[in-house]
Structure 1
């Protein structure tokens, strides 16, 4: 297997851009998105990017749990009552999400939306919730209580009050769909940054690969270096901005859906995968699973690798990745 030399920083750097590279920044899914394409002129680029934006807005309407008219909201409203017929696209997304839940032993779980949000990471928490509050907060969470009817493309949440949500997978899926659409339209090269969920294909106009960099969470002002990406996705999850500290222990905003307690011990996880949807889900899962289990689980998935930074600033990586600091 070809070894990757990975060096860190969290800016996207694109050296050697020419006038044939076009970029648009905008808000989608409540987050900052940036779409970059290589095209012969600005008119062609604008058309391509607009079509990609329209596709991501379509996906947002399909998966949004905030839109009362979405199929996702319809599923949630009927929890414990009846199965809901949904578009095949949504059904298959939920099916893949449940597969990821099995793969990660529930560290990833789209029914996390059922949680009572008793942890606050805005500076307002003065003490930890007690064990009974934590236990109650995840009482309705559990991917095994999602029932799928593949023949009729129907989804049923078995317990009243259950909810599904795509916060840990939706942006990655939208980026993948936009990338596919652009490639189908003949866009030979581009990079999509869906609020940190990055997917790229092709080369820059000067023949160089796109360059993605990953922040050093212990000192965001200093860069380790960059990683060339010509095909695939890179997603980084970090807890260095949203966390609380009690009794000298740091608790991340990433909650274990199985226990209701925040993850701890890691500050940054970067996953490299063929698709952003997969990388998105796994980056969150590794935070919950921890370094040892996370590295072991990633090693079992073909074409996927990761870099982990613990709360002491130590780097750990999949075997096929070679870390080279500047």
Structure 2
């Protein structure tokens, strides 16, 4: 049996140069929030760099124990446990994150929905599916999903899920939020360069020790051993949502593992969406939404966010980009 590896659609290739100055670069990889985090810090000495990596890990852990939907006794776990029963008071930080997530639900008409956590997992992408689920089963799988049944009370800082069995979960949006918070924390401490990459949701700031911007490589989904392009980044974020590793094909149509929470059907048409912008939380919400909405509606959504750009790759290998993103290649299948 072949071992299973988890690959991320966004390959973070940090092409580092070194100079004669006294700055050092230190990197550490760890598992947090159910995924892999790669933390890179540039500082005046190794001790300072390692100390600040420890602080980044502590901050991600703190956030995980606030918003995890599967760790007992977190605030979101309590919200889910009390679904259909009573509102639950949460910290302002959790309330505001939920409020921003609900905004994405509203502008995508449910294409993005944090109550996806209650969805029945009827689609299998491990090779075991031999036929599509029935329309009835698909409809039933999302009967507890629906952002309109999430009630926020800003006066009391409470979250209430109207239906018993409802759940909310932040998933990769939470990872994007954590990377942004760590970047803010490091900048406030005077650490002027680094990268926090949470399973492909990445916040960057500053420059490499040689004074050049970070160079981020994006992998080609049809030729994973090759890079599609490299992008220089200083203070910015990049996230990718991709389905080219997990999908099923029925009657010649490709169904991705990214499910539209409004319908219960898998997203089709796009195999990868990469979004660039100021922060990873918003970029993640956009990349997930674009995968679900598809090319036309996705680009219309992105137009509402002028500080963000995107690169889409269709199931046929065509590259589609927003007007404010430049890339010459037209296909990635070659």
TM-score, normalising length from structure 2? 0.93
Tell me the equivalent position of 1:106.
110
User: Matches of 1:168 and 1:175 in 2, distance apart?
Assistant: 11
Tell me the equivalent position of 1:3.
none
Uncovered stretches (5+) of structure 2, i.e. residues with no partner = 1-8
Match of 2:312 among 308, 313, 325: 308
Tell me the equivalent position of 1:206.
210
The answer on whether the counterparts of 1:168 and 1:284 sit within 8 Å (CA) in structure 2 is: no
Shift, 1:9, TM fit:
8.1
Deviation string for 1:197-250 (max 9, x for gaps)? 111011111110001111111211222331001111100111111111111111
Tell me the equivalent position of 1:85.
89
User: Matches of 1:241 and 1:291 in 2, distance apart?
Assistant: 20
Deviation string for 1:68-87 (max 9, x for gaps)? 11110110011111100111
User: Matches of 1:212 and 1:154 in 2, distance apart?
Assistant: 40
User: Matches of 2:301 and 2:59 in 1, distance apart?
Assistant: 32
Deviation string for 1:264-299 (max 9, x for gaps)? 111110011211111111111111100011011101
Residue aligned with 2:283, SS: helix
Match of 1:247 among 241, 244, 251: 251
Match of 1:180 among 161, 184, 200: 184
User: Matches of 1:253 and 1:150 in 2, distance apart?
Assistant: 35
Q: Segments of 4+ in structure 1 off by > 6 A?
A: none
Residue aligned with 1:224, SS: strand
Larger RCO, structures 1/2 (Cα 8 Å, 6+ apart): 1
Residue aligned with 1:140, SS: coil
Would the alpha carbon gap of residues 121 and 41 (structure 1) be closer, same or farther in structure 2, given more than 3 Å must change? same
Pairing 1:21–2:25 present: yes
The answer on whether the counterparts of 1:137 and 1:260 sit within 8 Å (CA) in structure 2 is: yes
Within 5 Å, give how 1:117-128 maps onto structure 2.
117-128=121-132
Residue aligned with 1:220, SS: strand
Q: How many corresponding residue pairs?
A: 319
Tell me the equivalent position of 1:44.
48
Deviation string for 1:154-201 (max 9, x for gaps)? 010011111000113111011111111111111001111111111101
Tell me the equivalent position of 2:6.
none
Deviates more, 1:14-23 or 1:250-259: 14-23
User: Matches of 1:237 and 1:28 in 2, distance apart?
Assistant: 19
The answer on whether the counterparts of 1:9 and 1:216 sit within 8 Å (CA) in structure 2 is: no
Match of 1:158 among 156, 162, 168: 162
Tell me the equivalent position of 2:266.
262
Residue aligned with 2:126, SS: coil
TM-score, normalising length from structure 1? 0.95
User: Matches of 1:247 and 1:267 in 2, distance apart?
Assistant: 18
User: Matches of 1:194 and 1:224 in 2, distance apart?
Assistant: 21
Would the alpha carbon gap of residues 9 and 149 (structure 1) be closer, same or farther in structure 2, given more than 3 Å must change? closer
User: Matches of 1:64 and 1:17 in 2, distance apart?
Assistant: 39
Residue aligned with 1:321, SS: coil
